[in-house]
Amino acid sequence: MVASYGMLDYIEGSVIAAVIVLNIVIGFVQDYRAEKTMQSLHSLSAPIATVIRDHGKVEKIKAEELVCGDIVKIHVGDVVPADLRIFEAMNLETNEALLTGESLPIPKNPESTVKDANCPIGDRHNMAWASSTVTKGRGLGLVVATGMNTEVGRIAELLRGKKQREGGPFKRFVTRIKDSGKNVLGLVGTPLQVKLSKFALFLFALAILLAVIVFSASKWRINDENLIYGICVAVAVIPESLIAVLTITMAVGTKTMAKGHVIVRKMQALEAVGGVTNICSDKTGTLTQGKMIARKAFIPGLGELKVKGVEGPFDPTSGKVFLDDAVIDGALANQNTELERFLEGIAICNLATVARNEETGISSEKSIGQWTAQGEPTEISLQVLAMRFGKGREDLMATGDWELLAEHPFDSTIKKMSIVHHHKGRDTIEAFMKGAGEVIVPTLNISEVRKGEIMEMIERLAGEGLRVLCVAHKRIHRSDAANRQVVEEGMDFLGLVGLYDPPRLETKDAVRRCKIAGVEVHMLTGDHIRTATAIAHEVGILAPAMPSALASTMVMTASAFDALTESEIDALPQLPKVIARCSPATKVRMVEALHRRGAFCVMTGDGVNDSPALKRADVGIAMGLSGSDVAKDAADLVLTDDNFASIVRAVEEGRRLFDNIQKFIMHLLISNISQVVLLLIGLAFEDAKGVSVFPLSPLEILWVNMITSSFLALGLGLEEASPDVMTRPPHDLKTGVFTWEVIIDKTLYGVTMGILCLASFVIVIFGANNGNLGIDCNHGFSESCIPVFRARATVFSVLSFLLLLTAWEVKHFTRSLFNLNPERHTGVFAVFHAVWYNRFLFWAVVAGFLVTWPVVYVPVFNTVVFKHMGISWEWGVVVGCCGVYLAVVEGWKGIKRWRKWGSAGRRINRDVEVGDVMEVEVKSD
């Protein structure tokens, strides 16, 4: 543009300026929409607060919606949403290192008072501060400050000014210049964005080199023509719309994932999730429905209870309880001491609440039918079982006999929970405990023979796919209530309860799709090994028949896995598909073992202790419904529905995004390569004055790069997932988008396109006009320039139409354009269905085709602005070039399919059964 104005070519300079402004406006609008999309997605992952409003109604709202006077519930793993004055607490401790620098958690005491108004905030033990995390216990607090009025908000206000850089004045100046330079050069953002920005800088350097070649060809006698020609070659090698199209494509990808119940917290995960090779998933609520039902219970002295006919898992009136085929009810609980004590245990040693749904407003409590529940699925099912006999927690508390003395919370490392109450009616101190059988049974006050019988019963129930909990009880002295070790030792056995959590209906198909896609699925669960094995078989993670060499290592307990050294783990033929009684430390070891095998893994988690594993995994995924705030902060993605199938959809979307980036990069670079070939060889076309004649005018190059190619590339970025996206192995993230297949294809197609453009110019000039290149045809139109102007129009049309064809051809790197989607459409008209599926790309191609005609034929506009003119018989050359190009591309794809090169070399072997579905091993030739 500057060169055109400098040479007083105002028309060309003005048109170039208009094209640049148009491209800037379009890019701004697209980037603005992408930014708005990202902001809306960030709001979905905003911190959530649990508040009590409307006469005791529990609701979950965004933390920013809290107001002073709200009552907020906090428990382990929560990030405190506002400054709270604690008025009820049970073993509550918070980590305030962010605010006070104190490395150890601070115990909270609601009865503590502060007499000094200037008391340091670290000593105010009746306060929980915003942004601190709950490391232990639970509590209720009154909101006294929100937002910028909180203590952490005041600190943020102080830091709102200039960000202080470390070092002296010179170092700060250099750092500021360095940061500004990175921003200008685009070297900030996700790894892929940075990589493509570096690639763009490489192309910029190449453009300068090509300009130097042009000037060297004229022996550095630089005049108007040489300068413009050098600029044209430089412009031709740079894909101007590359970064803009990438930004828009990724924004659309995050929006698509949000619709699929996956919130992207870190953009690099969006690029990486498509390349995962292993998924390590929780069982409860992820592979299963997370709606547990107490199906069986064993009470010593009474027998085995069975619950049948349950339709609503939260409804204690749904279904019936049977004892030896006879229906029983609450009357039996009042007559049988063992049953009464067992029901007291599962109701009192329980933090869940279940109530009738009398909701009139919006609430985020779990709601099924007329009943709502809040708490862990395990505890909800136990509470419902107790309520069937009229012995629910609320029923017991309503008597006024139960006074809470101490609570020892559940911990995933010890897998048990205990609670101590004073029963006023009996004037006794009752201690109850529940947890994993293998943890509790060895501590019980019973004989070894009896312990063995109970463990056999646990094994039997677990083999039926039930999650088995053991319940125990004893009476203690009040002074021992706070001593967990004393409370939990030597208890009496109350019974067992078997909980059934049915697999999600979509889980089996999701696991099958993972196997087809070459992604291994591992179940890491806290359940009993028999329960985990039964569910793993049911959803297809484990095959019904395994080789004897693998049988002993496919299913392991966490203790057995942790007992292995790293070398022993690496020597295993395969890593375990199921790890039972899994602890957070076991998850970390599993991630490390996968990394040593070169795997790229996803790890799911919901608890505070899962944070290390989520951070070490290549992609950490937190549960949005049951996950703690700490886990969400450590994760890259958050599932809003806690569903395993959503992880698979995220993998599919990641692969689609990766494929589309490859497609539009290939399309843009094919265009650039063809123009460089054309313009460099075009240096040989000299007129009578020895001046090189442009095969394409500067405006034609800009038009093709910034108008025609940009919308085609954007359409390819919006391409739907190819039919085989989940039937091929994961892509290599180390190689990135520039695979050898992409490099060879773009070079072949680009050179072919450049040669055909060159051939069309030669045919018109030398075949029909005896090599007449006119005089001074780079500056304006004259009678002697008619052949050159017609040749340019031919080259422009050939280049434009070949780019339109390329947009459809690169939809798949190996499949024919005429058989792009054989899974959906076959026959003569299959091509029409395939190109119509992506409406944006279809209309971009149609628009590119239609706009070519006015550019070529509108009088004055064509000769003065674009320096070409209308053509007639030359359209035969255009059609011929399109046919040759189509034959070359289709021929090359056919060769790749025949030789099984590139992506055509990946095939599916359906020979191994998994359950009643096929386990598919993806192989590469």
Average of per-residue pLDDT across 516-529: 90
Q: Give Cα separations from 780 to 381, 761, 775 (angstroms).
A: 85, 18, 10
Q: Which amino acid is at 563?
A: A
785 has a pLDDT exceeding 80: yes
User: Cα separation of 68 and 864, whole Å?
Assistant: 70
The residue behind tokens 């409590």 is: 365
Q: Which amino acid is at 145?
A: A
- Distance of alpha carbon 478 from its chain centroid, rounded? 50
| pLDDT the model gives residue 920 | 36
Q: What are phi and psi of 903, to 5 degrees?
A: -70, -15
- The torsion of the CA quartet 529, 531, 533, 538, rounded to 10 degrees, works out to -170
Helices within 218-266 (DSSP H only): 224-236, 242-259
User: Cα separation of 208 and 677, whole Å?
Assistant: 16
Residue with the bigger pLDDT between 460 and 267: it is 460
Give pLDDT tens digits for 653-674: 999 998 999 999 899 899 989 9
Q: DSSP for 130-168, please give it.
A: TT-EEEEEEEEEEEEE-GGGSHHHHHHHHTSSPPPPSS-
**Contact at 8 Å (CB) between 738 and 672?**
no
Averaging pLDDT over each range in 219-233, 410-424, 448-462, which range is the top one? 448-462
pLDDT band at residue 137 using 50, 70 and 90 as cut-offs: confident
| pLDDT the model gives residue 623 | 86
Helices within 541-643 (DSSP H only): 548-554, 558-563, 566-571, 584-596, 611-616, 629-634
pLDDT band at residue 918 using 50, 70 and 90 as cut-offs: very low
> What whole-number percentage of the chain has pLDDT above 90?
36
Q: Average per-residue pLDDT in the chain? A: 83
Within 10 A of 165 (CB to CB), how many other CB atoms are there?
A: 14
| pLDDT the model gives residue 561 | 93
Closest of 10, 33, 14 to residue 22, by C-alpha: 14
Average of per-residue pLDDT across 119-134: 84
The β-bridge partners of 492 are 473
The residue behind tokens 């959590």 is: 501
Q: Which two tokens stand for residue 99?
A: 């605010």
Q: Sign of torsion, CA 520 523 529 531?
A: negative
User: Cα separation of 165 and 301, whole Å?
Assistant: 72
User: Cα separation of 6 and 9, whole Å?
Assistant: 8
| pLDDT the model gives residue 270 | 80
> What whole-number percentage of the chain has pLDDT above 70?
85
Closest of 683, 716, 844 to residue 212, by C-alpha: 683
39 has a pLDDT exceeding 60: no
- Return the DSSP state at 819: G
**Active-site residue set:** 282
User: Cα separation of 885 and 367, whole Å?
Assistant: 61
The residue behind tokens 């007329």 is: 370
168 has a pLDDT exceeding 80: no
Residue with the bigger pLDDT between 551 and 807: it is 807
- The torsion of the CA quartet 84, 87, 88, 93, rounded to 10 degrees, works out to 50
Give pLDDT tens digits for 344-391: 999 999 888 888 876 533 334 454 557 888 878 889 999 999 999 999
Instruction: Give every CB contact of residue 432 below 8 A, 6+ residues apart in sequence.
Output: 344, 345, 348, 349, 418, 419, 421, 471, 472, 473, 494
278 has a pLDDT exceeding 70: yes
Residue with the bigger pLDDT between 702 and 773: it is 773
| Burial track 127-149 (b if 16+ CB lie within 10 A, e otherwise) | bbbbbbbbbbbbbbbebebbeee
Average of per-residue pLDDT across 680-687: 83
Q: Which of 561-565, 569-573, 835-839, 905-909 has the lowest mean pLDDT?
A: 905-909
User: What is the 3 state secondary structure string of 675-735?
Assistant: HHHHHHHHHHCECCCCCECCCCCHHHHHHHHHHHHHHHHHHHHCCCCCCCCCCCCCCCCCC
In terms of residues, how long is the chain?
A: 925
User: Cα separation of 332 and 147, whole Å?
Assistant: 54
Q: Which two tokens stand for residue 308?
A: 């049948």
**Contact at 8 Å (CB) between 408 and 488?**
yes
Give pLDDT tens digits for 600-629: 999 998 776 688 888 889 899 988 877 777
CA terminus-to-terminus distance, the chain: 51
User: What is the 3 state secondary structure string of 780-818?
Assistant: CCCHHHHHHHHHHHHHHHHHHHHHHHHHHHCCCCCCCHH
User: Cα separation of 232 and 220, whole Å?
Assistant: 17
Q: Where are the beta strands (DSSP E) in 450-598?
A: 467-475, 492-500, 520-524, 555-557, 578-580
Give pLDDT tens digits for 866-897: 889 999 999 999 999 999 999 999 999 999 99
Give pLDDT tens digits for 394-444: 999 999 999 999 988 887 778 899 999 999 999 999 999 999 998 999 999
Give pLDDT tens digits for 175-185: 778 777 777 66
Residue with the bigger pLDDT between 436 and 16: it is 436
- Distance of alpha carbon 46 from its chain centroid, rounded? 16
Give pLDDT tens digits for 899-917: 888 776 665 444 333 333 3
Average of per-residue pLDDT across 839-858: 94
Closest of 127, 122, 41, 131 to residue 78, by C-alpha: 131
Residue 595's Cβ-count burial label (10 Å; 0-12, 13-18, 19+) is middle
| pLDDT the model gives residue 777 | 85
489 has a pLDDT exceeding 90: yes
Give pLDDT tens digits for 731-781: 877 777 888 899 999 999 999 999 999 999 999 999 888 888 888 887 788
| pLDDT the model gives residue 923 | 41
| pLDDT the model gives residue 854 | 93
Averaging pLDDT over each range in 38-52, 687-701, 789-803, which range is the top one? 789-803
Within 10 A of 180 (CB to CB), how many other CB atoms are there?
A: 10
Give pLDDT tens digits for 310-336: 888 888 988 899 988 888 887 888 888
Give pLDDT tens digits for 704-738: 887 888 889 989 988 988 888 888 888 877 777 88
| pLDDT the model gives residue 15 | 53
| pLDDT the model gives residue 24 | 60
